[in-house]
Every structure is written in structure tokens, then in C-alpha cells.
Amino acid sequence: MRLLIDLQALQRPNRFGAGRCYLEKLVPALIAAAPDHDVAVHLLFNTSFPQTIPALQRQFAEVHKQGRLHVFHAGPDGLIQPKMVAHIQTFCSAGIAADLTLCLDGPSLDPVCDNPLFPKMTTQHLSLKELGKKTKFFNALDKNEGNARSISARKEVYQHLGLARPYLLFVGNSRNAGHLFPTDIIDAYANLPASLRPHLDLVIAGDFTLPALHTLHQSLRHHNLPANTTHIHLAPTAKAVAQLIAGAALLIDLSTEDSCAGMAEDAAAAQVPVLAVDSPAHQQTLGAQEGLFPGQSAKALEQALNRLLSRSDGLTTLALSQQQLGRRIDWPQTAQALLQDVLQGIKPSHQVHVDDWGAEQARLDGLEAKTIAALEAENRQLHLKDPVLQHIARAVAATRAEIEKALRGPAFSPSRPAKSWRIEGPFDSSYSLAAVNRETARALRRANWPVALFSAEGPGPYEPDLAYLKSHPDLLPLMQAADRLTETTADITSRNMFPPRCDDMRSRYNLLHGYAWEETGFPTTYRRDINAHLQGLLVTSPHVRRVFINAGIRVPITVVGNGVDHLKTRPARLPFALPKRKFRILHVSSCFPRKGTDVLLKAYAEAFAGDSKAEKEVCLIIKTHDNPHNTIAADVAALQADHPILPPIVVETTDLSPAQLQRLYKKANLLVAPSRAEGFCLPIAEAVLAGTPVLTTGWSGQTIFRDNPMVKFIDYHFESAGSHLETSNSVWAEPSVSHLASLLRTARTSPALKWRKKRRAQRAMRKTHSWDNVALKSTQAIKSIANSTPKTPPRIGWVSTFNTRCGIATYSDHLLKGFPDVVTVLANESDEITQTDTSTLRRCWVSGKQDPLDNLYTTITREDLEIIVIQFNYGFYNFAALGRLIRRLKADQRQVVLMMHSTDDTPHPPENWLSGIQQDLALCDRILVHSIHDLNRLKDLDLVDNAALFPHGVPETQQTPAAALTPERPFVLGTYGFLLPQKGYGALIDALALLRAEGRNVVLKMVNAEYPALVSAQLAETIRSQIVRLGLTAHVDFCTDFLEDAESYKRLSETDILVFPYRPTTESASGAVRQALAVSRPIATTPLPIFEDVSGLTLPLPGFSAPEIAEGLGGIIDQMSRPDQDGAVAQSLRHAQNWRQANGYSQLSERLYAILLALHQA
């Protein structure tokens, strides 16, 4: 029998109510008791509270691993009406075929309504009061109990929590406090006799809104309580709450719930005395009357507290009394009784295994249609607006996807393995994707798989070329099999097409196969579709796998390679004559920009131009085909015009059969493939099989041939990708022209490779890269996917400055706000805290060069964190200590991700050079950097495979249109960022004076917070003096306050253009310029590498001096006064808008979290 327990009550904001405490103990007992009743317990949660999901998956880890923890989608909390949510929830319950859905709701929740659409499905709702009636108790005192926990044991706990003295504890929030509030506890504590309070601290822990937090602080200030005696712990984790209770001298429980004592039972179990509101639940749990007080009276609380603490043995006596007289809930017996009760009359009606996927799809289609009809009927009464209806439609679709995900999982696994495979994509031409598709199908058929081929491309299906099928008759039965192996009847559907279309795939297992990607950028829409709709990726090389992980793809990715044995054919005669030369260089490609033919031509000229002997001995043959991106003919003509003495270059576009292509390779002495990026590069394999040596770029997919003796690599550096795909923040390799030229000259004069060496290389190529091997690896991947179990989300630690005046602290805060999980922040010690630390923050290291980071390592170990994200800047750590920390973390089998905000060793002493910890950096699972300069510096340290570009983000904020430019108002310049000398603000003020001297009505609004360093305060005084000296007091608004983001954006929105007049710096990227990009104003920057990654989004100034800045700004002001949609200003704003959509912090948070999950699951 399948029992689904709806536990949305555990997701609600009131985390510390009695009902939640009750459920957190009851549900594990129900899970443990279920096998006695032949019941499989499934749990249901709501994604309206996304940050609760990972924690619950960890809390119920065994249920999650068994594929029995499910979620349904209901949009942002409160957006969709409760009745609508109820329909979607019931759709999910019916979708996973629950025999009984048990809704365990706390008293403050509206119970989910029964849905009449599915009358065969039984739903029961039990309030907390009804659950209380079914509760079984036993006497509390155990033969091993009888003594209150020792003072020394309790002291060990509270010192571990960073507290110096014994403490009174309240855990909760203002919602669960009945007639009394946490401020009443503060009042009672403040009114304790002077002889008592110095010996006891007060700790208030819980989830408090900003207004509630403000009220608490107001109360503390009102009583003038010393800061070191009162402590507020915000948003404590369950583990932190347990620790706080275990260390407390006394727990004060203000809950008034009749049926469950909640926190009091946890305290009593930890032998902590409890002072609680007098209620039936507390009477039952605590027994001792002296620990109870009337809950309506704050004065009664104060008197009870005084009475307890005025006696030296008051707390000890109370603890012993509560141990002896109290009663505890017998959770196993309660669970057994509850199951016995709710299961009466319920008969299991659903099969355990889901074998017929097509029938399941039909069933879900019917359930979804009924759900939509019910939602439409509700809307005829509610008349909801389109944005809400769109949320509802997305929620239904997402819930359907979650149901299918569950049905694919271990709880519903089929009784037989997958046995049929449908391949979709082109297969009827010489197109590379077509070759991959048909050869994969042939190899699977040889492996005894029932296989179908279905012709389709990114836009949709198309009729295959019948002439091609006639010349390849073995493909016809595979194509005809697609009528039988449809999308729903085939166990597996895999596609290889462009663009990758996967949102309409409906098989049990849906994949992309033989998939290649070249440059590092990957479109966000592709990533989201793959994560949402696929169960795996079968890719061509380790490079492609790295690119996809770095892009944030978290489905299983398996490297299956490509086959080359389809080329094993007798060479045929070429349809054209080749130049008669001793040394023939061959290039085979589409001549797309990423193929590097421009590099090849330059290197060819550098190696052989002006050499009359080479002109007679050497030739270059370029085999290509016509396409819109192919300009090779014009490029060759231009090169030949520039170099009158140049060996011949032949461009051939004739279509060749595999046999003819084999002949072409054999006739060549060298294949050159100077690609900027490849997913695999089949011509390399083709050349090796023909016995022809290869030169290719030493990066991307072709490095899969690294161990082949016939392949040599060209040096390179990283550059921004200039492909036709136009993906954001994309990188590829720029091959070195000079190195390629040198390799060409060497290859011309080198002796031919020995025959035996060639044969070994060819045999290795055929063995490693056969289509049968591809089929075998693909089959193994499917088995792994089918047998996989859900992984519990990892516990993440984040090492960074935090809640301080620091750009990296702000960066970390922005990224973590978008994480769908609560992260433990491991921050540095600081006296300059900008806001109250939450209980998930640990201050455990000291910024600078002295800290050995031992306390940081100990904290990571104690918190059992599995992935550690380290924010790196040169001034943060002692390098030897950082290297040691990385080694220790990797020895503990933890993942380490280093986010580097600078990589330039130049200004630093040798002990702070990255080369000194190169071996430790190589251990990192990922090194994420912000600029291409950083990638190249890491490459110089031989750190390539674990390095990736990860951009700074831009905050998503409401866009305020710029005020119209009129002669009556001044033109407003603006600045933003911390006030530091390298920012060049003095030069900008001088430039302002020059602009005004020209007669321009220009003013300056400076939003530049003082940095917590003496140099910043001194600069502030210098600037104030400069403003006065230049007579600009009325024209400069100079704000050095540390403002909330909203206030900063408001001020920046009042400007016409934002200026970043930085002087040369070693920083890799500017966080301030990204903050400024959020407000959609033109941005002018000085010509520095720090702004390289926002080039095209900003307007470059001609230099750093005041006259150069004034000249550049004058030109921009003139252009803005005469709007031109094709001008540089308008173009920069359009590019910035596109960039914001791709680089918003929410997007980057989603991507980074997916990277961490993928690394953890690898």
C-alpha cells in the first residue's frame, strides 16, 4: 500500500511551533512502523518554499534515496489561491498513485480541500488536536536517568557555541508565543535582582521579521542591557537549536498548544529544566507544577523566573522533578495506533512497478486534463489575471514533470530493464550529426537492441532523403521501426540535432546522444530545458562534459566518445587532381570561424612565404563546403595578394564519399586542425586511421587524442569566443600563429613516422573509438541512470567576508540569496558588522597573513560540510595556510571550489605568488574566475581543466527610466563604489571642473561608501577639500555612507551617466560596475583590463587623466543630446539589457548551485 503524507506543515514559517515539533517526531515513527502494515510511506512537499526542500531531503534522507520524497509546484507562496493549489496537490497525489493521502496540518493551517475529481483516491486530514487524541504516553523516568545534566557537561556545550556563561533560552518567534512575546522575556530578565543577572546570559533564537527584530533590539536598548549578556540567534538550523537547548541552564517555553509540548519535550529529554506556560500539554510532559506559570500574565513569568533563580538549587531541583514526574510521548506506539486507525478500509489498488510507460503517459494525460478542467472551473468564479494564470499553467506543467520524475525513480522501477531505443535526428546525409545518428543506431542494432530512426531537426520532423535511403538500404527498416517504437512505447529516446530540442520528449528515459559542444558558453534556455526534461547526456569528450558541468547542467553526463570505424573502407579515386608537391598540408572543415582557418593561413604564410624552394615543394589543400559562414575563398585570395611568393593553396568544395575522403587523407603528409574549439574533431581520427600525422590546438575536445603519438598540439591562449552562436561569457582558444608556423617548418623537414608506430596508433584509435564501444558505453550509461537513486543535497560551506564593508562580502550575499538551500557561511572575524549575523554564520578565521586557518578547518569538520566554496583575494589568507587547508579538505574527500577575484601576482611578494601553491590549486574541483586574463594566468600555471569563467553578477532591480534631457536641468554624472585611491575619483572631479569651464551645465553625484581603512577616510577629506578648492560645492553631491542597495540604486537612477575613472589595478573584475549596470544608465570606463568582461556594455574613455576623461565625457554628452539608435550609447544600452538578462544574480546563483550539485554527484 502506498501512503502519501502531505507535510507542508513542516515548510511553514513557524518553524518552532508545537505542531512542527510533534510532526518531526511522529513522521519518522510512522516511517519506521509502516513495514509492519505492508505500507510504503511517501512524503509530499510544496516548492512554494524552495529553501526548505534540500533540508527536508537531508532530514528524510532514506525516504529521499528510495525515490519516495516528492514535490508539487504551486508558484510563489500566496500567489495562487488555496483551492487552485489544492487541485494541483491532488493531481500530484493521484499522479504517484497514492492509495491514501494523509494531510497532517498544524492548527494555524487551512487544510487542503478534498478534490472530487479523483473519487477513488482517499484523503484524510488530521489537525494537531486530532493527532493529540491518538497520542500514547509512557512514564519519563528511565532507570538510567535521575540526575540532572552536570554543570560541566552543559558548560562544554555552551562554550562550543561561543557563549561565556550559562544562559536562559527562548526558541521561537512572535507567532507561536500565545499571549506573551519574546520582549516579555527580555523584561523579566532585565528585572532580575542585580545579584542574579551577572551569572546568566539571555539567548533568544528564532525566525524574526525585520520589524520584530527591531522591536527586540529596542527592548534591549530600553533596559540598557550589556551587549555581551544578551544574544539573538537568527534563523537557527535544527542542529543549532538542538545545541542551544543542550547547553541551556533553563528553557522558557511560551507556547500554549493543548496537544503537544513541543520544545519542552526536547529540553526535558536533554535534562534541561523548563519554565513553561501552564497548559494541558505542558502538565503532561513536565509534570512538576513549579515549572509552570499562567500564560496570560507577563508579571507571572517574571515572578516564576525570580522564584526559580532565587534558590541556589532551584534549577537542579526543577530538572529532577520534571524528569521524575513528567511523561513522554511513546512515538512508536503512537505511530502504530495512528496507522491502524487511518488504514482501516483502505485497499491497495495500484501496481508496484511501472512497466507500461505508454499507459502511464495516457493515465497522466487524463489526470492533467481533469486538473486543468477543474482549475478553469475555479477561474470562472475567480476571474484571475493573466500573470497568475501563467503561474498556474507553469505549476501544472512542472508538477507533471515531477510526477514523471517520481515514476522513473526507484520507488516505481520497472520489473524489466530498458530494451528498446528510438534515435531522433538527421541520418540521411554526409552531415556529421547524420553520421553520428546512423552509426549509433547500427551499433545498437549489432548489440541486439530494437532500434528505430526518426528523421528530425531542431525545428521538428522532416521527410528523409529517399535517394540516400536507397543507397543505404539497411537504414530503411530502422526508419520504418519508428512507427512501432513511438515516443511513449520506446523505453529510450535520444536525440542529436541542432538546436537541441528536448522539451517535448516523452519516453521513460530521454537523452541527447553523441552530443558535442565546443566553446565554453552555453545558452541558459538550453541548460534549463536539459535539466528539466532529460535524464542524461551522452557526450563525445571530457571537454564537453566539463563545459556542461560548468554551465550548470546537473543531469548525469557520460563520455561515450565517437566511433571512427565507419571510415574503414578501401580508398577510392578522387574526382579532382592534387598538386604535385613533396609536402601536402591538408585541412578539412566547414571553415566556420572556430575552425581557425585564418590562423592556418597566417601561419602558412609565416612559415613559407618568400621561400622559393617551399613554393615548389609545399602546398595547402583545404577541403570544405559552402555555407553562410565560409569566407575561405576570399581569405585565400587576400593572402595570395599580400604574398606574391607563396606555395599554392587549393580550396576544394566537391562532396566526397568516405572512400574518397580516405584517399585524400592518405595523399596528405600532414593534417592541420587549428580549431579554436571542438567537441571531438572527427578529421583527426580520420587522418590517424589513414596514417597521416596531425597538428591541432591543445585545448577542447581534440585533447581526447592526447596520448596518440601521431597527434601534436599547438600552443594557444584564451580569448572571447566570436562564434555565430553569440552565447554570453563564452571562451575559446586562440592558437598561436608563430608556434603553428614553427611546427609546420619542423614537420616539413622531419622524417616520416615509422611504420610500426603508425600501426600502433591506428590500432589504438580503432579500439578506443569504435561505434561498438560507443554503443557499449551508452548502454552502460542507461543502466546506471535506470538504477540510480536520488542523492541528498550536499551541505555547503562558504568561506568569505560577510556582513562587512567589502565588495566580496556583497558579492557573496547576492549569490547566496538566490541559492535554494541554506548555506553555512564561514566568515572572518570583524568589528565592522553591517547587519546582524544569522545562526548559519560562523566567524572562524582572521583575514590577513597570520591565521593558520586551523579554526576554519575545525569548523568545517564539526559542521560536516561536504562542499567548500572559498572566496579568494590576495589579502585574505596566508598562502601556505590556504594550500594546507585545500590539501586537508581534499584528503577528507570534500569538494573544494575556489572563486578567485584576482590572479595577478605582479604586485605581491614571492611568498604570495600563486605558483607557490600551484599543486594545491590543482587539487581544487573547480577554480572559478571572472576574466579571460585570469584564465590565461592560470593556464600559465598549467591550471586549465579545473578552471572556468564565472562572471560577476548584476542585481535584478526595478528599472527607472532616465529623465528627459532638457536645457533647463543639469546633466548628472554619477560614481559608485568604495572610496579608494585606485578608483581615480580625484581625476573625475578635476574633469568636472574642466567640463564646467567649457560652459557645460554638468553636476556630479558621488555614491562612494568609505571603506573601513584609514586610507579611505583620508581620501574622503582630500576630496572634500578638492571640491571646495575648485568651487564645486554646489555641483557635487558627495555621499560616503554605506547604503542599502535599494537606496544606492535610487540615487544612481537620478544620474544620466555613470563614470568609473579607475586607475591601473590588479583586480580581475569590478563588482561596482556590475551593481551600476543594474540601473540601465550609460557607463563610461577608463581603458583597463578590469572592465574587459563588460566591454560592449560600457563606453571607453580615452585615458586616465582629467583632460582625457573630460574629452571622453564631453563626446558622450554630445551624443546623448542628439539621440541616435545606431550610436555607441544606444548600442551599449541594448547590449547591457541582454547582458542583464543572462547575468542576473538569480541566474548565476541557479547556475552555481547546479555546478556544486554536479561536482558532488560526479
| pLDDT score for 710 | 95
H or E segment to which residue 167 belongs? strand 167-171
What stretches in the chain show pLDDT beneath 50?
A: 106-115, 143-147, 177, 724
- For the CA atoms of 171, 175, 176, 181, the dihedral, rounded to the nearest 10 degrees, stands at 70
d(Cα 9, Cα 18) in Å, to the nearest integer?
A: 11
Residues contacting 532, CB < 8 A, separation 6+:
401, 503
Coil/strand/helix, residue 126: strand
For residue 669 the three cell numbers come to: 603528409
For residue 528 the three cell numbers come to: 534549463
For residue 464 the three cell numbers come to: 528523409
Identify the structural domains of the chain with CATH numbers, from first to last.
2-136+337-412 (no CATH), 137-328 (3.40.50.2000), 421-563 (3.40.50.11930), 568-765 (3.40.50.2000), 796-949 (3.40.50.2000), 971-1143 (3.40.50.2000)
For residue 747 the three cell numbers come to: 614537420
Unique residue bearing C-alpha cell 555581551: 228
**Interaxial angle between packed helices 985-997 and 1014-1029, expressed in degrees from 0 to 180 and rounded to the nearest 10:** 10
Whether the Cβ atoms of residue 518 and residue 703 lie closer than 8 Å to each other: no
Whether the Cβ atoms of residue 1105 and residue 964 lie closer than 8 Å to each other: no
d(Cα 1009, Cα 980) in Å, to the nearest integer?
A: 9
| pLDDT score for 1138 | 84
For residue 173, which phi and psi values (nearest 5 degrees)? -160, 180
Nearest to 89 by CA among 105, 103, 106: 103
Nearest to 180 by CA among 302, 270, 318: 302
H or E segment to which residue 404 belongs? helix 386-408
| pLDDT score for 121 | 62
| pLDDT score for 199 | 84
| pLDDT score for 161 | 67
**What are the contacts of 477-480 at 24+ separation with CB within 8 A?**
478/441, 478/445, 478/451, 478/452, 478/453, 479/452, 479/453, 479/454, 479/455
**Position 1104: which residue type?**
F
